[in-house]
A and B are shown apart, each in its own frame.
Chain A
Amino acid sequence: MNRKMRGRGMASSWYGIARTATIDRAGAWAELDDGGTAKIVTGVTEIGEGILTVLAQVAAEELGVRPEDVTIGDNDTSRSPEAAHAGATRQTYMIGNSVALASRDARAKLFAEIADHWDVPVDSLRAFNGELWAQDTNLRMSMDEAVKTCKGRGVVPVGSASFTAHGTGLDPVDGSGSPWQAYVFGTQIAEVEVDTWTGEVQVLGVWAAHDVGRAINPRGVEGQIEGGVVQGLGQALMEDYQTENGYTTTHGFAKYILPTSLDIPQINCTIVEDPDPLSPLQAKGIGEPALVPTAPAIMNAIYDAIGVRIKSLPATPEKILDALRNHVPGREQIAQSARQDRAEAHRRGL
């Protein structure tokens, strides 16, 4: 065996969007504000995933303003509507749809006034990027003017909404139920190089294809996939929180080893869009699912490279060399017998 051995492996995954086996709900308020700006208030937002920007995009799209015109006030149980937690790959799905619906509600108030003001049918109105116009007419004004006009008529264009995802509980005996209304699927391939002298594994490439429903911000989706892949890589190869009879032995980052910039494969993302038919935005989610297939893809790639299968994570250098030292080729024989049996069955015309 050469010192450096390469191989590839793949793995697929699936995941449910929003809270599991229960009804999920989220509320939001929206207001078209002076100057053609907008206020959005909801109970939970950013933990780093980029939802703040996604919500601004959603609100801007629905309200006809620009994302940078949107101010998001949030995250306060006494000052904002309930939106539950930041987790469960529910932010874009739950809060995003709730903000979309609240924005539509606010926009409807504005459009009703402007339609009346211009004397055009309300469904002829369109708004985008700070402008509002009536289709097939020369009627056009800035959102700044539109809000002024609306308020001049005695109406503050505010809206609110609640979005619901209908999951059901599981039967306590056979587990049957519909835990989610939206599912996503993913597939990843990993290419590795194993140093058979040290047991070190370097992941050189990952190809990650994930269905996200609809990518509101493709770059943000990529960021989630890349982050998920690297957390998966960490769990696959190095991370290991350890206790000895209950006592922690990995107290800090000197012992709890995380991936650094030198451990990062080239990550090639492919975003697949299979729109969700049950929600206004048609988007699903990506936060958690991105991590699922990475570790098995890497383990399958290690097997492809050196013929040992690591079934106990993480695949540390020591574990790899131990596995090589104690390697008994076995699966190849099963494969061989499988082929023979199939060939025989074929001969007998079965």
Chain B
Amino acid sequence: MLICESYHVPKRLEEALALWADAPEGSRLVSGATDILPWAREGRAGDVEIPALIDVTKIPELKGYSCDKGRIRLGAATVYQDFLTDRTLMTNLPCMPYCAIWFADDQIREQATVVGNLVNASPVADGTPPVVALNGEIELTRLEDGAVKRRTVPVVDFIEGPGRTTIQPGEIATAVTVDSAYGYGGSFQKVGQRRSLVISVACCAALVRADSTGTMFEDVRLALGGVGPRPIRLRDAERRLKGERITQELIQRVAESAADSVGSRSRKEYRRDVVVNFVRAGLEEALANQPEIGAKFKNFGETENA
């Protein structure tokens, strides 16, 4: 069980940063709390006594999102359910609703935050690949001589391995900024042992924009999760698709080349098979999910689930 000496709910960012900077060793930041409570149980960390928990979700600056220059800044309190209820987020981040629907369940999505998921840096986190595909940058905030300082780090670089990130002592992750991908088709592929509340064996986020006639790939974004210690952006595959004619053969060829991106040692053959199929399905579904031209791709591939 999780035992803490004190639980702080700061209402201002400066207050949170000060509390965090001065917190006794072993203290933890809390966002959605959907991971820390299950963590402090038998089979994981067991009983844990923590001096202070600092809850950052009641800080106004961390709530909501803002849009600027083709980028969207998602405050650290943004929860996964927002991608299923907020039209602006759904249309501008078209891979996120499909990720969200696979993420845990409706109830946990009301609490679990995108930023918290990134900071936990689980290799099997569902939330990372779509953010990576959207060129996500995490915003890290600290107090320096009493002043609030911010820096941003691309999410692909921020996550170094299982549970390891480049966050520094005293820093709080306050937001993640992502590309608006309005007009793109988005998709998310995942397989586990069931469909709700399940950890992925592998997952794949895709974003696609075809030209106005639906013959060429104008832009493609692909990212994988669950197949290595860090999220993987399939830059090479993207390059091979961009500007090319959309054909089944090309998709299949590019998909097959993705198998080598599987770094996990466990269940490797299975993951290689799945990754190839996910890149293919991801592209086909994303094509079909494009807002206007998508209809053209409804029966394009094997994927009737678009």
The complex places the Cα of A254 from the Cα of B198 at a distance, in Å, of 7
Q: Are B194 and A2 in contact (CB under 8 A)?
A: no
Query: What A residues does B278 contact at CB under 8 A?
Result: 197-198
Q: Are B201 and A238 in contact (CB under 8 A)?
A: no
Interface string of A87-101 (1 = CB under 8 A from B): 000000000000000
Query: What A residues does B197 contact at CB under 8 A?
Result: 260
B129 CB to closest chain A CB, in angstroms?
16
Verify if B69 is at the interface (C-beta below 8 Å from A).
Answer: no
Q: Are B267 and A252 in contact (CB under 8 A)?
A: no
Chain B: CB-nearest residue to A324: B273
The complex places the Cα of A322 from the Cα of B191 at a distance, in Å, of 15
Verify if A317 is at the interface (C-beta below 8 Å from B).
Answer: yes
Q: Are A198 and B277 in contact (CB under 8 A)?
A: yes
- Give the contacting residue for B43; candidates A198, A199, A252; CB below 8 A: A252
Q: Which of A249-283 contact B (CB under 8 A)?
A: 251-252, 254-255, 257-263
B63 CB to closest chain A CB, in angstroms?
29
Q: Are B281 and A238 in contact (CB under 8 A)?
A: no
Contact A3-B269, Cβ < 8 Å, known A198-B274, A262-B194, A263-B195: no
Interface size bracket, A side? 20 to 34
- Give the contacting residue for A260; candidates B196, B280, B281; CB below 8 A: B196
A234 CB to closest chain B CB, in angstroms?
9
Verify if A69 is at the interface (C-beta below 8 Å from B).
Answer: no
The complex places the Cα of A318 from the Cα of B198 at a distance, in Å, of 15
Query: What B residues does A258 contact at CB under 8 A?
Result: 194
Verify if A248 is at the interface (C-beta below 8 Å from B).
Answer: yes
Verify if B199 is at the interface (C-beta below 8 Å from A).
Answer: yes
The complex places the Cα of A316 from the Cα of B194 at a distance, in Å, of 9
Chain A: CB-nearest residue to B105: A260
Query: What A residues does B193 contact at CB under 8 A?
Result: 237-238, 257, 316-317
B12 CB to closest chain A CB, in angstroms?
35
Query: What B residues does A316 contact at CB under 8 A?
Result: 193
Verify if A311 is at the interface (C-beta below 8 Å from B).
Answer: no
The complex places the Cα of A252 from the Cα of B197 at a distance, in Å, of 13
Q: Which of B265-284 contact A (CB under 8 A)?
A: 267, 269-270, 273-274, 277-278, 280-281
A275 CB to closest chain B CB, in angstroms?
40
Q: Are A251 and B43 in contact (CB under 8 A)?
A: yes
Interface size bracket, B side? 20 to 34
Verify if A156 is at the interface (C-beta below 8 Å from B).
Answer: no
Q: Are A199 and B302 in contact (CB under 8 A)?
A: no
A264 CB to closest chain B CB, in angstroms?
11
Q: Are A3 and B194 in contact (CB under 8 A)?
A: no
The complex places the Cα of A237 from the Cα of B201 at a distance, in Å, of 15
Contact A197-B196, Cβ < 8 Å, known A3-B303, A322-B269, A325-B269: no
Query: What B residues does A2 contact at CB under 8 A?
Result: 302
Verify if A145 is at the interface (C-beta below 8 Å from B).
Answer: no
The complex places the Cα of A139 from the Cα of B41 at a distance, in Å, of 69
Chain A: CB-nearest residue to B42: A251
The dominant DSSP class at the A interface is loop
Chain B: CB-nearest residue to A256: B193
Q: Are A260 and B195 in contact (CB under 8 A)?
A: yes
B286 CB to closest chain A CB, in angstroms?
16
The complex places the Cα of A283 from the Cα of B54 at a distance, in Å, of 61
Verify if B304 is at the interface (C-beta below 8 Å from A).
Answer: yes
Verify if A122 is at the interface (C-beta below 8 Å from B).
Answer: no
B18 CB to closest chain A CB, in angstroms?
35
Chain A: CB-nearest residue to B38: A254
Query: What A residues does B267 contact at CB under 8 A?
Result: 318
Q: Which of B196-210 contact A (CB under 8 A)?
A: 196-199, 201
Verify if A321 is at the interface (C-beta below 8 Å from B).
Answer: yes
Q: Are B274 and A263 in contact (CB under 8 A)?
A: no
Q: Are B270 and A321 in contact (CB under 8 A)?
A: yes
A123 CB to closest chain B CB, in angstroms?
59
**For B38, B41, B194, which residue has the most chain A Cβ atoms within 10 angstroms?**
B194
Verify if A200 is at the interface (C-beta below 8 Å from B).
Answer: yes
Q: Are A197 and B270 in contact (CB under 8 A)?
A: no
Verify if A4 is at the interface (C-beta below 8 Å from B).
Answer: yes
Query: What B residues does A318 contact at CB under 8 A?
Result: 201, 267, 270
Chain B: CB-nearest residue to A239: B193
The complex places the Cα of A260 from the Cα of B104 at a distance, in Å, of 12
Contact A262-B273, Cβ < 8 Å, known A254-B38, A317-B201, A318-B267: no
Contact A262-B195, Cβ < 8 Å, known A199-B270, A317-B201, A322-B269: yes
A155 CB to closest chain B CB, in angstroms?
58
- Give the contacting residue for A248; candidates B41, B43, B191, B304; CB below 8 A: B43
Q: Are B196 and A238 in contact (CB under 8 A)?
A: no
The complex places the Cα of A200 from the Cα of B302 at a distance, in Å, of 15
Q: Are A321 and B38 in contact (CB under 8 A)?
A: no
Chain B: CB-nearest residue to A262: B195
B42 CB to closest chain A CB, in angstroms?
6
The complex places the Cα of A261 from the Cα of B196 at a distance, in Å, of 8
User: What are 5 A-B residue pairs whose CB atoms fall within 8 Å in the complex?
Assistant: A238-B193, A251-B43, A262-B196, A317-B201, A318-B267
Q: A238-B194, A317-B270, A318-B270 are in contact. List 18 more A-B contacts (CB 8 A).
A: A4-B304, A197-B278, A198-B191, A198-B274, A198-B277, A199-B191, A251-B42, A252-B38, A252-B41, A255-B43, A257-B194, A257-B198, A261-B196, A262-B194, A318-B201, A321-B273, A322-B270, A325-B273
Contact residues of A with B, CB < 8 Å? 2-4, 197-200, 237-238, 248, 251-252, 254-255, 257-263, 316-318, 321-322, 325
Contact residues of B with A, CB < 8 Å? 38, 41-44, 191-199, 201, 267, 269-270, 273-274, 277-278, 280-281, 302-304
Closest 9 CB pairs of A and B: A251-B43, A197-B277, A3-B302, A198-B191, A262-B195, A238-B193, A257-B193, A318-B270, A260-B196
